[in-house]
Amino acid sequence: MGSAGKEGEVKEKTKEISVAGGGDGVDGMGTPGEGLGRCSHALIRGVPESLASGEGAGAGLPALDLAKAQREHGVLGGKLRQRLGLQLLELPPEESLPLGPLLGDTAVIQGDTALITRPWSPARRPEVDGVRKALQDLGLRIVEMGDENATLDGTDVLFTGREFFVGLSKWTNHRGAEIVADTFRDFAVSTVPVSSPCHLRSLCGMGGPRTVVAGSSDAAQKAVRAMAVLTDHPYASLTLPDDAAADCLFLRPGLPGVPPFLLHRGGGDLPNSQEALQKLSDVTLVPVSCSELEKAGAGLSSLCLVLSTRPHS
């Protein structure tokens, strides 16, 4: 819809600016979006046995292989800690929170501010409590969503380093987007209709500070076109064969002499998209698998929260 006004209103915008680039996705346009991917810590939550039944939060999801899901989760944590050098904090699994590992839905973090969300599913709302405490302990400024008419899942929010896009979906409504705008007033906030039963981050993500990656489905391409109309910034675009591969994480741990990382579902999960992602420059590709956790609705952006506790230069 548009950018945020002073009072957090998400306003209409009519200025049309196309997404730049012919699909090569090469990120070679300087260093915009300094806030994108900056991180020192990662937060995850263990996989409970209750997730395996497929009855997580009353969702009626397909049953999954618990041991495989736990292995995938363990590998993700290991790569965040060992490959990327992040301080890893792992909340223990809670049997009363079968979808607790999808903690990316519980907060939107930028800089030293964490907006604690209000998930669409009432059964998931208790998930925010442990996340809130962990983020408080790390020294972040906590903002609560007090409006009972608002719903917001964190994986409907895409931060580009320069602005926010909030997907209006089954999970997130316009009031939730307004609260994002009111919380992060230094950035434009635009709403993007999501025309499929999933989150915005399940369709598109950032492959670099000026590169939007998106799946090839109609819903993903429709979302990218909407973003192109709303933005005042030129982004290159890269279309991937698989929507799920667009749910990637561009991360800059700030290690001396080390280029940024792109954590993504390549390799054995989505080999065709792995090949396409190799068109991105100046990033180190780090593939991980979450094919079993995906049965519970998980994507990479839902399985971890990344943040920086270091002063921003």
- The catalytic site residues sit at 199, 304
Containing 216, the helix (H) or strand (E) segment is none
**200 neighbors 158 (Cβ within 8 angstroms):** yes
**DSSP helix/strand/coil, 157:** strand
Q: CA dist 33 to 164, 183, 206, 230, 285, Å?
A: 11, 19, 11, 17, 20
Report the relative pairing of strands 284-287 and 261-264 from DSSP bridges. parallel
**247 neighbors 232 (Cβ within 8 angstroms):** no
Which residue reads 């996705």 in tokens?
25
Cβ-Cβ contacts under 8 Å for 277 (sequence gap 6 or more): 207, 213, 238, 240, 245, 248, 262, 264, 266, 285
Tokens of 35: 């806030």
